[in-house]
Amino acid sequence: MTEPLPEKALSKRKPSKRGVVDANRVRKGLFVLASLCVGACVLISILAIWDYVGNQSAFKFLASCAVLVGGGVLFEVLNRWFGSALNPAATQQ
């Protein structure tokens, strides 16, 4: 049988991350997604200015990127909200 951990060992544990999914990973993923969308939107906008891409296609692409980034932000907010509801100790940091 294993012995229970002493109280000092329990107090040295890292505090749990906020969120159901690790909040740092979500934030990094959202940053990468937003960066790719911004870069792609700049490229599509330049192509639309030079008439290589139709204006309708450019507006659809811009709207799609806005929906993706908005969904990512909403996911991050919900992740933190549900994570703090599931783990009240994480909000006391």
Give the tokens for residue 62: 């811009």
Q: Is residue 65 part of a domain?
A: yes
Please state, in angstroms and rounded to a whole number, the distance separating the CA atoms of residues 84 and 50.
49
Q: Across residues 30-51, what is the average pLDDT?
A: 94
> Is the pTM of the predicted complex or chain greater than 0.95?
no
Give me the domain span that covers residue 39.
Answer: 22-83
| Cα distance between residue 26 and residue 72, in whole Å | 8
Structure tokens at 43: 């490229």
pLDDT higher than threshold 80 for residue 28: yes
Q: Report how many domains make up the chain.
A: 1
Tell me the pLDDT band of 38, cut-offs 50, 70 and 90.
very high
Under the banding of pLDDT at 50, 70 and 90, the label for residue 17 is low
Whether 58 maps to a domain, the answer reads yes
- Confirm whether 11 is domain-assigned: no
pLDDT of residue 20: 84
Instruction: Tell me whether residue 41 is in a domain.
Output: yes
Q: How far apart are CA 47 and CA 34, in angstroms?
A: 20
What is the predicted pLDDT for the residue at 80? Answer: 87
In a domain, 62, yes or no: yes
pLDDT tens readout for residues 54-69: 989 999 999 999 999 9
